[in-house]
Every structure is written in structure tokens, then in C-alpha cells.
Amino acid sequence: MTVILLALGAACCLGLGFVFQQAAAQHAPMKDFLSVRLLLDLVRMPLWVAGIGLMVAGMALGAIALGMGDITLVEPLLATNLLFAMALSRRLTRQRLGRSGWAGLWLLAGGVTAFIVAGRPQGGRSSADQTWQWLIMGMVLGTALVLAAVAKRERVHVSLEAALLGVAAGLLYGLQDALTRISGENFGRGGWGALLTSWQPYAIVVLGVLALVLVQSAFESAPLRLSLPALTAAQPLAGIACGVGFLGDRLQVTAGALAWEVAGIAAVVAGIVLIGSHPAMPPGAGRREDARELEPR
């Protein structure tokens, strides 16, 4: 129960923080798109700093939850950050939930519950075979970089661009969560010495900065509903893949359990899409598409 409460607290901070960040990012200069300079411009905006503060708090709570529980349990709960983003956005826009909003809410909540109940995630020791770890990490990182490269192409439509950047950032955050879990294990075995002499903490920082640039660029270029659902769906999928692939997490593998697990993940993704496309989500400015229209042909 403690792990669940910590994960939900992390989701709340992340969801609220994303809304604040997008509200600020849409006013950043478009010339800084997919550049570290974007962060330097955004850090001057109090609203963005508040959003980052909430995100850092959410990541800290998530790290504690990952240290106490299994990544296959924590990641689906972190996906509920979209519910908290929806709650704040609905208050700001004064939009009613309606059928699509309620359907998305129940699909997301029900999907998370079904996956956890059917899968019964159980932790284990990280795999001693480093081959699987590097293979899965390379696939997740490589996919994220390819998606970011495709999104940077000028011919990609702004809606697809934001979605691709959201997926790429979500994959990096999922990988970051897996490395956070390993860092916690290293700290538990050897304290600060073992933690600081391992490569994972430094990789976490690099992944965090890269993911932050991607997600802020997505927030800057298009409405929140085009990027946040993609990010929210990709993060738990990457985290679960890492958890089962090389962190030693175990799920029930009976035919009935697998069917419910797949149905639960499908319901989570469907709920995320419905909530993300709801009119209550901030519409943003969509300034990247406007800027393209002004470019000489």
C-alpha cells in the first residue's frame, strides 16, 4: 500500500507539473526547438520552474516507490498522471467530462487495476546476463533517438511531430526508471561508494536532460493533447519491458492471466488516448505549425 500511495503521489506531481510546463513552453522561441537552449529560455519563466519543481518531486517519489516496489507495479500507476493533468486542465477550462472523458477515466483506472491484479508483479534479482540488459536498453534508446530524428524533419506534420517526441521522451523516462531501480539496488548493497562508482546515476542524468529537451520541444510546438498521451503510454511500456527483460520482475504467465494483462495494457492505452484528446486538455498555441506557414517555399 505504501508503494501504491507513493506512486500515485508521484503521478499527481508529474501530471500537474506537465500542465504548468506546457503552459510556459508554448511561449518559448521556436528557434530553440530540440535544442538545449530551450531549457535556458524556459528557466526564466516562473510557471515553468514551478512545473519542473513538481516534476522533480514526482520523480523523487517515483524513485522511492521503485526502491520499495517492482517496476512492473510502479510504472502502470505512474501512467495515472494523465488523470491529475486532466483534473487541473478541466478546472482551468471549465469543461465537463462528458462520455469520452468518463470512458477514458474508467479505461485507464480499470486497465491499471486489471494488469496489477492479473499480473501480480513480483520483484527479483537483476539478471546476471548483461547481454539482455544492453540489448533491451539499446533497443529502447535507439528507438527514442530514431523517433526524435524523424520528428525533426521539416516535412513531418506538427501533430505527428509532437506525438513522436512524446513517445521518444516516454521511452527515455521508462529507461531512466529502470536505471533508477538498479541505482537503488547498488546503494542498498554498498552505500554511496557503490552508487557513485557505478555508471547508472550519470546515465540517469543524461537521459533526464535529453528527455526534458524532447518533451519541452513537444510542449512548445503543439497542444498538450498531442504529446502527453504518447508520453504517458510509452513510459510504462518501456519500464515493464526493462523490468521483465533484465530486472528480474515476474508476472503471472497462465493463459488467463496473460489475457487480462494484455487487456489491461490495451485499456490503459485506450484510456490515455481518450483523456488526452478531451476538450478539457489545454489547447496550446500550436505555434510551430504557424511558423512553418510563414516560411518561404
In the predicted structure, residue 285 carries a pLDDT above the cut 90:
no
In the predicted structure, residue 196 carries a pLDDT above the cut 50:
yes
In the predicted structure, residue 13 carries a pLDDT above the cut 70:
yes
- Here the cell at position 142 is 535507439
Average pLDDT taken over every residue of the chain: 80
Once rounded to an integer, what is the mean pLDDT over residues 119-129? 66
Give the pLDDT score at 279: 65
Nearest to 29 by CA among 216, 204, 202: 216
In the predicted structure, residue 286 carries a pLDDT above the cut 60:
no
pTM, to two decimals: 0.77
Q: How far apart are CA 146 and CA 195, in angstroms?
A: 31
Which tens digits make up the pLDDT trace of 99-122? 777 787 788 778 888 887 887 777
Give the pLDDT score at 282: 57
Burial of residue 139 (CB within 10 Å: 0-12, 13-18, 19+) is middle
Task: State how far the alpha carbon of 279 is from the alpha carbons of 103, 211, 251, 271, in Å.
Answer: 14, 26, 36, 15
Q: Where are the alpha helices (DSSP H) in the chain?
A: 2-25, 37-42, 46-68, 71-78, 81-93, 98-119, 130-152, 158-196, 200-221, 224-245, 255-276, 287-294
In the predicted structure, residue 155 carries a pLDDT above the cut 60:
no
Once rounded to an integer, what is the mean pLDDT over residues 140-163? 82
Return the percentage of the chain with pLDDT > 70, whole number.
85
In the predicted structure, residue 268 carries a pLDDT above the cut 70:
yes
Which tens digits make up the pLDDT trace of 211-264? 988 988 888 777 777 777 888 888 888 888 888 888 877 777 788 888 888 888
Between residues 13 and 94, the one the model is more confident about: 13
CB 108 within 8 A of CB 82: yes
The neighbouring-strand residues paired with 250 are 122
Give the pLDDT score at 140: 93
Which tens digits make up the pLDDT trace of 33-73? 667 777 888 888 898 899 999 999 998 998 898 888 778 78
**Domain ranges for the chain:** 1-96, 126-251
Least confident of 102-111, 183-192, 213-222, 279-288: 279-288
